[in-house]
Structure 1
Amino acid sequence: MWDKIFPKSDKVIVERVSYRNRFGISVSADLYLPCNIDLSKKYPALVVGTPYGGVKEQGAGLYAQTMAERGFVAIAFDESYNGTSGGEPRRTSSPEIFTEDFSAGVDFLGTRPYVDRDRIGAIGICGSGGFSLKAAQVDQRIKAVATASMYDMSRVTRNGWMDGMTDDERRQALVVLGEQRWKDFENGLPEIPAGFPSTPQQTIPQELDPITSEFFEFYAMKRGHHPNAPAAFTLTSGMAFMNFPLLNYIETISPRPVLFIIGENAHSRYFSEDTYEQAAEPKELYIVPGARHIDLYDRTDMIPFDKLTDFFTKTLG
């Protein structure tokens, strides 16, 4: 049964796979192969991460399928504790383990007989853009990285939107999270806030702020809704993000290339613009005219797949 938000392509072969990361957690992924693949040859490959709160049946799968149509082997995976991947407690968000999940994808791809382990790249969408860059800072096997609508989840958690959180506000937030840890310990399970509705909605509530409204449009409406993606994590997950900078060694990815793709009208574009300035060459910032943040999740008329294909064809050889 096809359970994804995008149509199935007749140009690819899709297989559900799983593999363990170095923490022993089983990572669930969809493997996309070109339908004309010659298993006696070796191909370039891509690890594709989901938007923060999303699952492989949404944007990540669309990217992986499209890149497989263009001759790449690609996997789209669910982060540990989420989707159909393993890990307890459920819906935990961990910057370290989500970063590790990219390297685990490289482990898997690099041991396939039809993959050239010297030609493996990564694509990170939204929050996984930051995780893919974090992985590449230490995992030299990742030869090139592209991000789309990148979010630095550590920065936004620690500093608030547009870095507007004060030191006092941050301290108070940490006091609240500390209290929450006691509650979770006594209850035996971490508290998870309400996510987006479990069934697709017809309209966007008027009381939502513009950014939440945009995410509601994708996660809570027919456009991108998936039952495995409530886009909510345990409350105490925020402590790790406040204490775990994602992009503190961004310049060390060089001389491996990085491509940052952002929408012209994306509320999140400052993450990519700032990170682009901090990164070392070779690097490129590519702006999609008219696109918002979520448009690079699923809008095939806006996602620059030709640019991605050209980038990875050149950088992976």
Structure 2
Amino acid sequence: MTKRVDVEFESEGVTCRGWLFLADSPKKSPTVVLAGGWCYVREIVMPTYAKAFAEAGINALIFDYRNLGVSDGDNRQHLDPWAQIRDYQNAISFLERHESVDADRIGVWGISYSGGHALVLAATDPRVKSIVSQIPVVDGYENMRRAHGTMEYRRLWDLILADRKLRYEEPGKRLYLPHATADSESEVSSWPFPETVETFLKIKASEAPLYENRSTVESVDLLLNYDVGSFVKRIYNVPTLMIVAEGDDLTLWDLEINAFNAIPTPKKKLEILPHTTHMTLYSDKSKVEKAAAIARDWFVDTLGVAGG
């Protein structure tokens, strides 16, 4: 059985909490940090990956960002991508000091929004020795334009501007919107896909009770300025695996492939999963396990696990 321990660390004065899955090894082991995408909490699919890594000799830390799940933070359900990236960096700082961790062999795994974060971390944090970026968000502006379409995008902007006005006129107040909705014509959401709300509400009912189908409107405002394009060009020497779902029209597989092609390192690999969508990488256990095995093998090879 994989050993799982509760851990916590400080990130800019806020306590983040998570699970550390420990490899069965008497020596310090390579370690991968995992965090989730839009509104995710630690229970959402990530334990499957963490267990696969730990069974292969790699420690795995899953944590909730500030303001989400079991972590502290007064601005609940607020998603600031740059604060989330700093949470990742502080998770790495915590791991560097852990008795079971080889600080010279730390990797990062990310999915969807955090798939983009993994690319940024590969470009900006030399402590990161390998990454897996899975179905990543790479260009928030283009993603929102295409996901919402013209009329929904207009309504999204009306909501963003109303939130900006409210936050100026009544500091401390803010507007919220659903993570996803089943009826995008009548309700503005961040990700207007019925399969998204269906999948995540099922996961909430069975595995992740702290998941909330909402975020601050400002979270989308920040997403519109999120673009990893200037960062991927700086990934010169970090082994980078990108896992893409064939035909992904949620985070847009053409944008993902373009981002992959812009990475200059020769130590990169693109894995396109056939007959797979963005959401089946959450709802279909066999596809989750396949992606976990691919990521596991990548980290075994690139982080130098004994016997790998």
TM norm structure 2: 0.84
How far apart, CA to CA, are the structure 2 residues paired with 1:147 and 1:59? 15
- Establish whether residue 20 from structure 1 lines up as the match of residue 10 from structure 2: yes
Matches of 1:72 and 1:208, distance apart in 2: 46
Change (3 A) 1:74 1:195: same
Partner Cα distance (2:170, 2:209) in 1: 25
- Conserved 8 A contact 1:180-1:236: no
Give 2:168's aligned residue.
Answer: 182
Aligned counterpart, 1:289: 274
Structure 1 residue 273: deviation in Å? Answer: 1.1
Q: Mark the runs of 5 or more structure 1 residues left unpaired by the alignment.
A: 1-10, 198-203
CA contact (8 A) 1:121 1:312 kept: yes
Per the alignment, residue 37 of structure 1 pairs with 25
CA RMSD of aligned residues (A): 3.0
Partner SS for 1:15: strand
Instruction: Give the distance between the partners of 1:310 and 1:105, measured in 2 at CA.
Output: 23
Structure 1 pair 254–163 and aligned structure 2 pair: CA distance change class (3 A): farther
Instruction: Classify 1:274/1:68 alpha carbon distance in 2 versus 1 (closer, same or farther; 3 Å).
Output: same
Cα deviation, 1:219-238, whole Å, max 9, x if unaligned, reads: 11258662211232111223
Give the structure 2 partner of residue 139 of structure 1: 125
Report if the CA contact (8 A) 1:219-1:230 is conserved: no
**What fraction of aligned residue pairs are identical, expressed as a percent?**
24
2:113 corresponds, among 127, 131, 136, to: 127
- Match in the other structure for 1:307: 294
SS in structure 2 of the partner of residue 122 of structure 1: strand
Question: Which residue of 1 is the match for residue 33 of structure 2?
Answer: 47
Tell me the SS of whatever aligns to 1:179: helix
Cα deviation per residue 1:146-187 (whole Å; 9 max; x = unaligned)?
011212363356x52269669x959766544422323552xx
Q: Read off the aligned partner of 1:249 and give its amino acid letter.
A: F
User: Which secondary structure does the structure 1 equivalent of 2:215 belong to?
Assistant: coil
Q: 1:221 to 1:196 in 2, by over 3 A?
A: farther
Which runs of 5 or more structure 2 residues have no equivalent in the other structure?
none
Counterpart of 1:316 (choices 283, 287, 303) is 303
Partner of 2:215: 233
CA distance in 1, matches of 2:148, 2:268: 24
TM-score (normalised: structure 1)? 0.82
How many residues end up aligned between the 2 structures? 293
1:102 corresponds to = 88
- CA gap 1:194/1:276 in 2 versus in 1, 3 angstroms: closer
Q: Tell me, what secondary structure is at the counterpart of 2:222?
A: helix
3-state SS, counterpart of residue 122 of structure 2? helix
Judge conservation of contact 2:166–2:173 (CA < 8 Å) in 1: no
8 Å contact 1:25–1:87 — kept in the other structure? yes
Inter-CA distance 300–67: structure 2 relative to 1 (3 Å threshold): farther
Contact kept in structure 2, 1:49 and 1:129, CA below 8 Å = no
Residues 148 and 296 of structure 1 are in contact (CA less than 8 Å); yes or no, is this contact kept in structure 2?
no
Which of 179, 197, 200 is 1:219 aligned to?
200
CA distance in 1, matches of 2:61, 2:283: 17
Farther off after superposition, 204-213 or 239-248: 204-213
Code of the residue aligned with 1:226 in structure 2: it is A
**Equivalent residues of 1:126, 1:149 under 8 A apart:** yes
- Residue 135 of structure 2 is matched in structure 1 by 149
Counterpart code for 1:217: E
Aligned residue identity for 2:19:
D
Q: Report if the CA contact (8 A) 2:246-2:275 is conserved.
A: yes
Question: Separation in 1 of the partners of 2:128 and 2:230?
Answer: 18
**Equivalent residues of 1:263, 1:287 under 8 A apart:** yes
Q: Indicate conservation of the 8 Å contact 2:3/2:22, yes or no.
A: yes
The offset of 1:121, in angstroms, is 0.4
In 2: Cα distance, 1:33 partner to 1:283 partner: 27
Distance change (3 Å), C-alpha of 1:233 and 1:162: closer
Aligned to 1:160: 145
Residue identity matched to 1:106? I
